[in-house]
């Protein structure tokens, strides 16, 4: 099938659609990808979100791709959740992986059985703040969220769940719930803290420990 | 071109009257609940209480007064208070918006969007910044004769509790960055005429013309939301109104600064 379609930019593909309404064929509820007829000949697949899509001369090629459940596109700059999609989809099996990763990066020996000792706050803040924001985000965003989420989950006897998001292919953001839309969101404001030089482990722990409705 | 509303979807295309159907109060009304036993609802000054439970503009100063009265918070500094007010306002917006836009998969957003053109190049003029984090996103639906087309995350929201107007340069050009990032990352929605950028503010702030003009240039439908509140014997309620506006031949046009208000929710402190 690899030769039956072409990966193109959204700009190029949109230039082949004069009438977004009239040339629309259908969309897929699982991936939220849309299929359009091209102006002259062929068909276009626009994924839910992203700057690339697919062109094929036969609609059946795009139909097969959608049926397979996997759109053969990769983001140039995938979100950390997309990069870690496989592990996060089975987060319960991968807690120790992220704990080891976090401890290795922070040079600490944290566990998920007890809350982080306040004597470590300074060490953690210093290590994370010493990095450029983009680097701090790249290194710590996922492991911090998983470890803090797991600490909270054990404390409240909660359960990990996955929130579906869309890119070229769907991915998942984990959260901890105790039921009835009473949730703990480990990644709430974390990107903002890391990317905007506002990281403070005390404040982050306070934020993660707050019960939240899914907003 | 289809106008109006469909099954509760919020359609921002050629819609002089803004099709919107609330999901009903049952969805989220009540939110996290009030601490009724510890709050004196009768203690609000008459100016803010509005006599017989009238709907009043939720200005920045009214928000501050309500927080002072009901939050049971002691603020260590003015900065901490402002931070609390901003978060509290945003949280109440999310509760209201989620109720009204449930079918558009409305969600608060914490994820950064890259400020690039998709080819690894920064958007011109934005070299000092690599990302934006907009407050919320939702799906917009284009209703064509050939069926419903979902455009995931094609509507972005920024929430500001502030007393002055929002312009492109607000918060170090955050508004412009976000609009540009939206226009670049949602080109199909722009072409379909439904990419939207909305700003929710406290009631004494508005959106400056520069924002509407920029939206027009970028093909984004720009809309302002503003709140009203009402103190009752059992709590404070808040509701947001949205600006009446339209598109003419795909070009977003601001028509009137007239607001239609949605259903109220209980205010959370």
Residue B1 confidence (pLDDT): 29
Per-residue pLDDT reduced to its tens digit, B208-221: 888 988 998 999 99
Average pLDDT of the segment spanning B116-136: 69
Which residues from A are below 8 Å from B148, CB to CB? 27
Instruction: For residue B26, tell me if it sits in a domain.
Output: no
Which residues from B are below 8 Å from A192, CB to CB? 110, 133
**Could you tell me the CA-to-CA distances from B44 to B71, B85, B166 in Å, in that order?**
13, 18, 29
Asked casually if ipTM beats, i.e. exceeds, 0.95, the reply is no
Assess B249–A contact: CB distance below 8 Å, yes or no. no
| CA nearest to A185 within chain B | B110
A186 DSSP 8-state letter: T
Task: Determine the distance in angstroms separating the CA of B216 from the nearest CA of chain A, rounded to an integer.
Answer: 19
Domain housing B54: 36-266
Q: In which order are the strands placed within the sheet that holds A159-165? A: A159-165, A171-177, A183-184
Measured distance CA(A116)–CA(B197) in Å, rounded = 40
Instruction: For residue B171, tell me if it sits in a domain.
Output: yes
Domain spans, chain A: 5-68, 80-208
Tens place of pLDDT per residue across chain A (215 aa) = 456 999 999 999 999 999 999 999 999 999 999 999 999 999 999 999 999 999 999 999 999 999 999 999 999 888 999 999 999 999 999 999 999 999 999 999 999 998 898 999 999 999 999 999 999 999 999 999 999 999 999 999 999 999 999 999 999 999 999 998 899 999 988 999 999 888 999 999 999 999 887 66
Confidence class for position B124, pLDDT limits 50, 70, 90: low
Task: Kindly state the greatest CA–CA separation across chain A.
Answer: 67
Specify the 3-state DSSP secondary structure of A141. helix
Residue B71 confidence (pLDDT): 86
Do the Cβ atoms of B267 and B95 come closer than 8 Å? Answer: no
Find the chain A residues whose C-beta atoms sit closer than 8 A to any C-beta of B: 9-11, 14, 17, 20-22, 24-27, 32, 34, 46, 48-49, 51-52, 76-77, 79, 81, 134, 137, 166, 187-192, 195, 211, 213-215
Residue B234 confidence (pLDDT): 84
Average pLDDT, chain B: 78
Measured distance CA(B142)–CA(A20) in Å, rounded = 9
Measured distance CA(B198)–CA(B221) in Å, rounded = 8
Do the Cβ atoms of B89 and B97 come closer than 8 Å? Answer: no
Assess B191–A contact: CB distance below 8 Å, yes or no. yes
What is the count of residue pairs from A and B with beta carbons less than 8 Å apart? 91
- Whole-model pTM: value is 0.85
Task: Determine the distance in angstroms separating the CA of B267 from the nearest CA of chain A, rounded to an integer.
Answer: 14
| Interface contact A49-B188, CB threshold 8 A | no
Candidates B191, B249, B244, B192; CA nearest to B222 is B244
Per-residue pLDDT reduced to its tens digit, B26-77: 222 222 222 223 334 444 455 555 545 799 999 999 999 999 888 888 888 8
| Interface contact B32-A211, CB threshold 8 A | yes
Confidence class for position B88, pLDDT limits 50, 70, 90: very high
CB atoms within 10 A of CB B75: 15
Do the Cβ atoms of B107 and B136 come closer than 8 Å? Answer: yes
| Interface contact A213-B95, CB threshold 8 A | yes
Measured distance CA(B182)–CA(B199) in Å, rounded = 14
Instruction: For residue B50, tell me if it sits in a domain.
Output: yes
Residue A23 confidence (pLDDT): 97
Candidates A1, A33, A48; CA nearest to A165 is A48
| Interface contact A34-B120, CB threshold 8 A | no
Task: Determine the distance in angstroms separating the CA of A106 from the nearest CA of chain B, rounded to an integer.
Answer: 23
Give me the CATH code for the A80-208 domain, please. 1.20.120
| Interface contact B98-A215, CB threshold 8 A | yes
Backbone Cα Rg of chain B: 19
Residue A215 confidence (pLDDT): 61
Report residue A65 as tokens.
């791709």
Task: Determine the distance in angstroms separating the CA of A180 from the nearest CA of chain B, rounded to an integer.
Answer: 11
In this predicted structure, the answer to whether residue B130 has a pLDDT above a threshold of 80 is no
Measured distance CA(A143)–CA(A95) in Å, rounded = 9
Which residues from B are below 8 Å from A11, CB to CB? 187
Per-residue pLDDT reduced to its tens digit, A95-151: 999 999 999 999 999 999 988 989 999 999 999 999 999 999 999 999 999 999 999
| Interface contact B120-A76, CB threshold 8 A | yes
Candidates B9, B4, B14; CA nearest to B253 is B14
- Pick the residue with more confidence: B242 or B1? B242
Per-residue pLDDT reduced to its tens digit, B258-268: 788 999 999 99
């Amino acid at each position: 099938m690899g030769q039956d379609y072409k990966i193109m930019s959204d700009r190029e593909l949109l230039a082949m659609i004069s009438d977004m309404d009239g040339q629309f064929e259908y969309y897929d509820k699982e991936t939220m990808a849309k299929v359009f007829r091209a102006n002259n000949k062929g068909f276009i697949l626009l994924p839910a979100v992203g700057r690339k899509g697919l062109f094929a001369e036969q609609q059946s090629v795009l139909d097969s791709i959608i049926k397979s459940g996997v759109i053969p596109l990769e983001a140039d700059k995938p979100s950390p959740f997309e990069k870690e999609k496989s592990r996060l989809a089975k987060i319960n099996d991968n807690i120790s992986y992220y704990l080891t990763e976090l401890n290795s990066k922070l040079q600490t020996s944290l566990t998920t059985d007890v809350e982080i000792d306040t004597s470590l706050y300074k060490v953690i803040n210093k290590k994370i703040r010493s990095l450029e924001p983009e680097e701090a985000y790249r290194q710590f965003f996922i492991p911090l969220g998983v470890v803090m989420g797991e600490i909270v989950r054990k404390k409240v006897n909660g359960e990990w769940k996955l929130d579906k998001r869309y890119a070229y292919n769907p991915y998942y953001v984990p959260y901890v719930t105790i039921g009835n839309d009473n949730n703990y969101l480990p990644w709430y404001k974390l990107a903002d803290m890391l990317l905007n030089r506002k990281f403070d482990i005390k404040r982050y722990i306070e934020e993660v420990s707050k019960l939240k409705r899914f907003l | 071109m289809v106008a109006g509303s469909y099954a509760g979807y919020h359609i921002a295309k050629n819609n002089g009257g803004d099709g919107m159907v609330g999901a009903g109060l049952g969805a989220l009304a009540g939110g996290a609940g009030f601490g009724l036993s510890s709050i004196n609802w009768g203690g609000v000054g008459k100016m803010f209480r509005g006599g017989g439970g009238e709907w009043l503009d939720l200005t920045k100063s009214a928000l501050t007064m309500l927080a002072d009265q009901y939050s049971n918070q002691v603020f260590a500094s003015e900065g901490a208070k402002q931070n609390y007010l901003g978060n509290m306002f945003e949280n109440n917006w999310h509760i209201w918006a989620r109720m009204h836009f449930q079918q558009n998969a409305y969600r608060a957003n914490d994820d950064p969007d890259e400020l690039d053109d998709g080819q690894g190049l920064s958007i011109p003029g934005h070299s000092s910044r690599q990302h934006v984090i907009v407050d919320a996103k939702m799906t917009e639906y284009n209703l064509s004769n050939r069926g419903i087309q979902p455009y995931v995350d094609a509507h972005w929201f920024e929430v500001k509790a502030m007393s002055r107007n929002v312009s492109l340069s607000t918060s170090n050009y955050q508004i412009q960055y976000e609009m540009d990032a939206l226009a670049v990352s949602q080109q199909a929605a722009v072409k379909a005429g439904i990419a939207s950028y909305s700003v929710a503010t406290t009631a004494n702030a508005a959106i400056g013309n520069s924002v509407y003009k920029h939206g027009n240039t970028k093909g984004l439908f720009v809309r302002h939301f503003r709140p009203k509140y009402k103190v009752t014997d059992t709590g404070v309620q808040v509701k947001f109104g949205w600006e009446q506006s339209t598109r003419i031949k795909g070009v977003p046009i601001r028509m009137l600064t007239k607001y239609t208000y949605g259903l109220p929710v209980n205010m959370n402190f």
